[in-house]
Amino acid sequence: MIIDQNTTQQGGISFTVRPASERGRADFGWLKSAHSFSFGNYYDPKHMGFGNLRVINDDLVAGGKGFGQHPHQNAEIFSYVLGGALEHKDSLGNGSVVSAGGVQYMSAGSGVTHSEFNPSATDEMRFLQVWLLPEVQNTKPAYDTIDLSYEDKNGKLKLFLSRDGRDGSMTTQADASVYAATLDGDQRINTELRSGRRGWVQVADGSLNVNGIALSKGDGLAIDGSGALTFDQGKAAEILFFDLAH
């Protein structure tokens, strides 16, 4: 459990805010990135991940730029596209372009090499890159994509990645269920974190309250314990909600 000055206890649940302003930063000119957890040249032993959630990078990529061919192994990686488009190619023969509202997912398993580029010569592209740790090592690599419509996540949690592939979601080797939602005005989302699980909320855009805790763009919220969760007071908010192995 994370305990610091940003922690609030409510009954059987502990909430710890990870402020956007305290994230690690990287600026390579063509790439500007904010790291919720230790990554690359950013290292903070207090922020090495949360449960089996290992990486959340908020990446802004200049037109025509991107990540050249590079390898991954034993990581469940998805890219949640917030603006522009993301072009993917890998050693499995997969190739796709995912636009804003879409998600691409790669189970690296025993090993895969891939590249990710911004196919626009002029427009910036923004996406959240997330890594989860798999339950089993060295499985067969896999790739998938999903498009989430405005209606899918408007005022509700839309499951897009899960261990069992339920409700049309993509299947991951990680013990995690990942949801997207948008929230505005008087919309309210009620859900529950079950015993033996932990939760993380990542605010991609806008602002909202989670159980009365105010969160803004870039903030993260670690949730330990079990009980009812309420998302409300949204102002053009877009979030990811992770239901994770403890």
| CATH 2.60.120.10 is held by the domain 7-245 | yes
The whole-chain average pLDDT of the chain stands at 94
Cβ contact 174:142 at 8 Å? no
Q: Percent of the chain scored above 70 by pLDDT?
A: 98
Q: pLDDT by residue (tens digit) across 232-244?
A: 999 999 999 999 9
d(CA 3, CA 53): 18
pLDDT at 91 (0 to 100)? 87
More confident site: 157 or 108 = 157
Domain ranges in the chain are 7-245
More confident site: 1 or 192 = 192
Query: Which is it for the CA torsion 208, 209, 210, 214, positive or negative?
Result: positive
Nearest CA to 108 out of 70, 81, 80 is that of 70
125 burial (CB, 10 Å; 0-12 / 13-18 / 19+) is: buried
Q: pLDDT by residue (tens digit) across 165-178?
A: 999 999 999 999 99
Q: pLDDT by residue (tens digit) across 49-65?
A: 999 999 999 999 999 99
Cβ contact 85:118 at 8 Å? yes
Q: Percent of the chain scored above 90 by pLDDT?
A: 87
Predicted TM-score (pTM) of this structure:
0.96
pLDDT at 4 (0 to 100)? 62
Q: pLDDT by residue (tens digit) across 181-219?
A: 999 999 999 999 999 999 999 999 999 999 999 999 999
